[in-house]
DNA sequence: CGATAAATTAAACACATGTTTAAAATTGGT
DNA sequence: ACCAATTTTAAACATGTGTTTAATTTATCG
């Protein structure tokens, strides 16, 4: 049978799967505790509140992902020439390493980020910016170095477009995978989506600025 | 004073603003009816249910937007050469015309689409596909014509990346506008975001396909 | 006007949520 | 084995939700 998993971890495991699939607010503590086979009250006992549980779920991933990304970015920083593609490639390994938390860890983390942005009014975003602001700054700086033709503001906006395309793809990945299977008879894993995504976002970021009519 | 607006329209107006800002499930009928200055029970009287209200809100926009987009796409179809940029430019005018429903109509509609995708499990997506599937098909066909180097499946995926970047940008536009104001001292309207977005998504879609290592 | 239909209203309903409580069970250390 | 601390449990709590009801008001029109 299964090994000895603490109630706290049972809750985290069940919660992250449900959060990633349905979002935070749409997932009830009763669903989580039922899936985890623990008592309803244990969430409040171990985490204090649902909000604290949400933060704990995200923190477990961010505390693994962010340092990994930061190391990759630092490494790239020493290069004389930097391409957008190289910057985004920095995400691959740290993202892939999230399988150590959960087999579907990479997809789960991206979904969580997506819901965090969409649902909670800046609360979780501010938390992330505060905790890992230096990583984000390094990322923006490198992207700007790779695209000196853009203004800092353009880089800012395009980075968020990238974020949008990424999390959206993950959040709706299940439905899209089913459609792709039906229409093109192709099996696309969560990692395959990343592979399809990176050329897209790199191309978008490298696009020339336009003054527009 | 305000003109004579029917209770039904008062509800629609209040609902679409709240839905666009907080999502469907997070908006209660009590909030809506309070904002609209109507009785709580009038929603069920005029629309039958909350779900029917959500559909009515979206339908009011889609029934204006989709035919407009379709006309633009048909017009483009006759061209001998088609660029990705031209395809996406087809969105501009129909989107801008949504101000006839609401001054912030374009932003509202995109937010609604975003929440529709993220929240309701395929239900609303299937509705849209069924109702306006031919428009979507025309769109995909044109994009493929503009990018014959891509497979149909690549076009499919990239189109959804585009959708993700777009709705995400709109859903979180308020927070992003505030950050941009603080960091770059720039005022960015909802339309300005579209102007920044279009080069990005066109660049992403035009990106070369990669077999990847 | 007066009668019939439509619309509005306040109240209650049934249900789901996060949280708290207090008792019971389990664990850990001496 | 014992006691104290930790953990688990079932039940209740307070609150918010969409919906329904039945009475009242307003509008429609012969």
What are the per-10-residue average pLDDT scores of chain A (213 residues)?
77 96 92 96 96 94 96 95 92 94 91 77 72 91 94 91 85 79 85 87 90 44
According to the model, what pLDDT value does residue A119 have? 66
Picking from A2, A104, A128, A1, the residue whose alpha carbon sits closest to that of residue A54 is A128
| A2/chain B closest Cα distance in angstroms | 32
Above 70 in pLDDT, residue B119?
Answer: no
Average pLDDT over residues B42-71: 96
* B22 confidence band (pLDDT: 50, 70, 90): confident
Does B192 contact A at CB distance below 8 Å? no
User: Is the minimum distance from the CB of A41 to strand C below 7 Å?
Assistant: yes
According to the model, what pLDDT value does residue B28 have? 96
* B34 confidence band (pLDDT: 50, 70, 90): very high
According to the model, what pLDDT value does residue A122 have? 61
Average pLDDT over residues B4-32: 93
According to the model, what pLDDT value does residue A212 have? 44
Of A156, A161, A172, the CB nearest to B200: A161
Burial letters B104-127, b for 16+ CB under 10 A, else e: bbbbbbbbbbbbbbbbbeeebbeb
Q: Which nucleotides on chain D have any atom < 7 A from a protein Cβ?
A: 7-12, 16-22
The half-sphere exposure of B212 on its side-chain side, counting CA atoms within 13 A, is 13
| A203/chain B closest Cα distance in angstroms | 4
Does A134 contact B at CB distance below 8 Å? no
Of A115, A184, A203, the CB nearest to B204: A203
- Report CA torsion sign: B105, B194, A124, A129: negative
**3 state DSSP class of B126:** helix
In chain A, positions 4-33 with C-beta closer than 7 Å to nucleic chain C are 27-31
User: Is the minimum distance from the CB of A43 to strand C below 7 Å?
Assistant: yes
Q: How many CB pairs under 8 A join A and B?
A: 155
CB contact under 8 A, B169 and A152: no
Q: Which of the residues A113, A163, A168 would you substitute to probe the B interface, choosing the one with the greatest number of B C-beta atoms within 10 Å? A: A168
Q: Kindly state the tokens that stand for B16.
A: 């679409």
* B121 confidence band (pLDDT: 50, 70, 90): low
Does A140 contact B at CB distance below 8 Å? no
**Residue A109 CA, distance from chain mean position:** 4
Mean pLDDT of chain B: 88
Instruction: Report the distance from CA of residue A42 to the C1' of nucleotide C18 in Å, as an integer.
Output: 12
Burial letters B38-57, b for 16+ CB under 10 A, else e: beeebbeebbeebeebbbbb
According to the model, what pLDDT value does residue A3 have? 47
Assess contact for B124 and B55: CB atoms under 8 A: yes
Q: What is the pTM of this model?
A: 0.85
Does B126 contact A at CB distance below 8 Å? no
Does A180 contact B at CB distance below 8 Å? yes
Does B125 contact A at CB distance below 8 Å? yes
Above 70 in pLDDT, residue B209?
Answer: yes
What DSSP character marks residue A97? G
Q: Which nucleotide is nearest to A45 (CA to C1')?
A: D7
Residue pLDDT, tens place only, B133-192: 999 899 999 999 999 999 999 998 999 899 889 887 777 777 788 888 888 898 888 778
Q: Which residues of A touch B205 (CB under 8 A)?
A: 200, 203
Q: Among A96-105, A107-116, B11-20, B100-109, whose mean pLDDT is lowest?
A: A107-116
């Amino acid at each position: 049978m299964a090994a000895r998993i603490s109630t706290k971890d049972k809750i985290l495991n069940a919660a992250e799967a449900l959060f990633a699939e349905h979002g935070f607010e749409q997932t009830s503590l009763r669903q989580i505790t039922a899936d985890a086979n623990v008592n309803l009250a244990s969430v409040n006992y171990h985490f204090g509140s649902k909000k604290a549980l949400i933060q704990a779920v995200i923190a477990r991933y961010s505390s693994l992902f962010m340092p990994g990304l930061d190391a990759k970015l630092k490494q790239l920083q020493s290069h004389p020439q930097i391409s957008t593609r190289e910057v985004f490639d920095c995400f691959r390994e740290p993202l892939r390493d999230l399988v150590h938390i959960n087999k579907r860890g990479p997809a789960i983390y991206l979904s969580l980020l997506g819901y965090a942005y969409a649902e909670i009014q800046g609360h979780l975003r501010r938390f992330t910016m505060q905790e890992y602001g230096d990583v984000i700054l390094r990322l923006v700086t490198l992207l700007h170095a790779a695209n000196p033709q853009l203004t800092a503001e353009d880089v800012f906006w395009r980075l968020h477009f990238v974020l949008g395309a990424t999390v959206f793809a993950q959040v709706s990945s299940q439905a899209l995978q089913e459609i792709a299977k039906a229409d093109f008879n192709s099996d696309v894993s969560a990692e395959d989506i990343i592979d399809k995504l990176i050329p897209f976002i790199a191309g978008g970021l490298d696009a020339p600025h336009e003054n527009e009519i």
